Amino acid sequence: MPDSASRPHKGQSLWGGRFEQKPAELMQAINVSIGFDRRLAAQDLQGSRAHAAMLAKQGVIASEDAEAIHRGLDRIEAEIADGTFPYREEFEDIHMNVEARLAELIGEAAGRLHTARSRNDQVAVDFRLWVRQACDDTVRRLTALQRALLAKAEPHAATLMPGFTHLQPAQPVTFGHHLMAYVEMFGRDAGRFQDCRARLNESPLGAAALAGSPFPIDRDATAAALGFERPTANSLDSVSDRDFALEALAAASIAAVHLSRLAEEIVLWVTPQFGFVRLSDAFTTGSSIMPQKRNPDAAELVRAKIGRIFGALTSLTLVMKGLPLAYSKDMQEDKQPVFDAFDALWLALAAMAGMVADLEPVRERMAQAAGGGFSTATDLADWLVRRLNLPFRQAHHITGRAVKRAEDLGVDLGDLPLKELQAIEPQITSDVFEVLWPEASVTSRQSYGGTAPDQVRAQIARWKEKLK
């Protein structure tokens, strides 16, 4: 055990040799991060084990010291797991809390763990490990949501609903086709997190404070032990880079946009004015004063949580935008927004998967709305091109006049008498009515990726195979 002169006394920081007095209370308050960076405990232990093993193998520390360090880290891991680890603000962050506890458990050997390492590269590797795991976890959660969408889309591959542009009825589609649009979106989101993971998968451990280390360390060994593809190539960049966190937040923000769009549609769909879907009691709440209300609060809260994710990206971008190389204490503010953003994203993904599984379409209401707003007008124009060989612009003009006439008569396009259509274009025959109904419109959209039920089922099968 070290003598008392060489050990930090109670209230003295592990870095306190240069300082004669304790930090002011306000300095301690603004400096301490253990309240939030304790979430890096598992990663800190993982990095320390790899570092200690490498130091021993390279002959930098004795093997018996490395063994003692490993035993102490195992004890600390157990204490964290059972809730007895003594987190102390006087040691500022998770790294120094672990080191201080290690010194209490194994004595002098604990002081050898920090050889050839700085808190700068230590926190960089811990944070990369956390973000890497967060990317993997998010992909799994996105996949769960995609599976929920697939399960709901499959029985509704032919269920009619209106398709909208500008939130105005445009053309008939199917409910399954509409849900599959979100499967595509969330698939791209998963790809962004996978790309982010691939780019961040380099180990900064061994960059030390900013310039590297004079000890004969093996950075390839620690990178491999921690599951990284390679060590980072520049020690200055290693400790000052937070691109990986920014990229993860950017991917989270785009995923959040998609979640918010789907949440907004659910909010619209459950209104009496739309009446397209129903949500059960599981994902709705009531009113304290209006007993008839069923509010889509889960969807609204998903929509609202998105702001926290956008805010996290903005926050970290502003922290990083003016920092000279290499590390600055500003970067301590990197973790809270990332933790908060992923907590919000994961909750929103879970809630959305639950809502998708819970919601039930009101088929008759959606089918009725699918034919509204003269939604088969494009089908009439296409028929004029195919059957009468008219230029599309001429067909578009004729169709516009037909829509105006139907509107004047207060009927749907499919109910417009043949003589009225022939008054606009004499070549029109009764065959035209075969394409003026939503079912025919949907069935005709057989192009790859179209809304025809057979195409929808093909895309569902493709995604089910892809997500195996």
- What amino acid positions are annotated as catalytic residues? 166, 287
CB 373 within 8 A of CB 341: no
Peptide bond into 395 cis (omega under 30): no
CB 299 within 8 A of CB 267: yes
DSSP characters over 18-54: G-SSPPPHHHHHHH--HHHHGGGHHHHHHHHHHHHHH
| Cα distance between residue 202 and residue 233, in whole Å | 9
Estimate the crossing angle of helix 243-269 against helix 119-153, to 10 degrees: 30
Tell me, what DSSP letter sits at residue 290?
Answer: -
| Cα distance between residue 370 and residue 90, in whole Å | 65
Tokens of 40: 């890096």
Helix (H, G, I), strand (E, B) or coil at 154: helix
- Across 56-71, b (16+ Cβ under 10 Å) vs e yields beeebbeeebbebbbe
- Across 190-220, b (16+ Cβ under 10 Å) vs e yields bebbeebbeebbbbbbbbbebebbeeebbbe
| Cα distance between residue 187 and residue 303, in whole Å | 20
Q: Which DSSP helix (H) or strand (E) runs through 361?
A: strand 360-361
Best CA proximity match to 43, nearest among 125, 165, 139, 137: 125
| Cα distance between residue 417 and residue 408, in whole Å | 13
For the four alpha carbons of 10, 13, 15 and 21, in that order, the dihedral sign comes to negative
| Cα distance between residue 375 and residue 276, in whole Å | 17
